Amino acid sequence: MIRDNLPASVFVDADFAYVNDRLTRHYGLERVSGSELQKVTLPEDSPYCGLLTQAAILKVTSNGTSTSPVIRGAWIMERLLGQAPPPPPASVPAVEPDIRGAKTIRELLALHTNSVSCAGCHARFDPVALALENFDILGGWRTHYRSLEAGERVTGIDRAGHDFAYARSEAVDASGQLLDGRRFQNIHELKAILAVDPRPLARNLLHQFTVYATGTPVRFADRKVIESILDQCEGNRYRTRDLLHALVRSSIFLGTQDNP
């Protein structure tokens, strides 16, 4: 991003990925040889582009046994968009498997957010994460959920020689509606929505650069400087190196800003 001075929108919507032989198999791409990461151009219909759908991130934002829209959504809003959700009320339990008839993650979240205090926060990040439900806990593409009970039975032998069996359950619904009313049907449409307004991505990147460079988060008094940098870089699509250079020339980095 810095070396090639790429726009901030590339964080969510890129036409390339860095892969090796195992990742091309995992992503369903044309095979490359060797374990070294290589830059490849992605097919137009590939869902794997940008940090939003990188397998490593999809893995660490799952809980190890199932995908977790709450964890994924909160990670995206905080780490990519700079809109960290507030901590849940102490009296509210985590989302756990429900015994009242919920069969899908959407039904489970709907039951969890019956409370107004829960619904307000979840409306900020649940839709974004539900768009990622086509990706399993390892970031592999799926069109249906797996089940141990209801559904079409699938059996076989894995690469380690172990027998496996599961049921092909409900189809994944990756559609949603953002808090501002914009709707999407799949991950491609969500990426297009996020990429069309890259300023939040660029602003968050500046905040991350500031913490990394100075060891201090952006203060209230710094916000005017941040917005000024964004205004400077807007005409060139908020390119990453431009943002970095503007920051290190600013009063935030040079320490010349008066204390409030």
- 26-84 confidence digits (pLDDT tens): 999 999 999 999 999 999 999 998 998 999 999 998 887 888 888 888 888 899 999 88
**Alpha carbon distances (Å) from 129 to 32, 82, 171, 203, 258:** 30, 15, 16, 21, 41
- 68-112 confidence digits (pLDDT tens): 888 888 888 899 999 887 776 665 555 554 444 445 666 666 665
pLDDT at 29: 95
Using DSSP's 3-state secondary structure scheme, residue 1 falls into coil
Residue-averaged pLDDT of the chain: 86
Domain boundaries, the chain: 8-196, 199-254
CB of 81 closer than 8 Å to CB of 52: no
CB of 176 closer than 8 Å to CB of 127: yes
pTM over 0.85: no
* Owner of token pair 């768009």: 131
pLDDT at 9: 96
Calpha distance 61→42 (Å, rounded): 24
**42 burial type by CB count under 10 A (0-12 exposed, 13-18 middle, 19+ buried):** middle
Rg, C-alpha atoms of the chain: 21
1, pLDDT greater than 70: yes
Helix runs in 153-222, H state only: 187-196, 199-214
Alpha carbon of residue 197 to chain centroid: 16
Q: Give the DSSP letter of residue 239.
A: B
Exposure class string for 6-37: b at 16+ Cβ within 10 A, else e:
bbbbbbbbbeebebbeebbebbebeebeeeee
CB of 52 closer than 8 Å to CB of 72: no
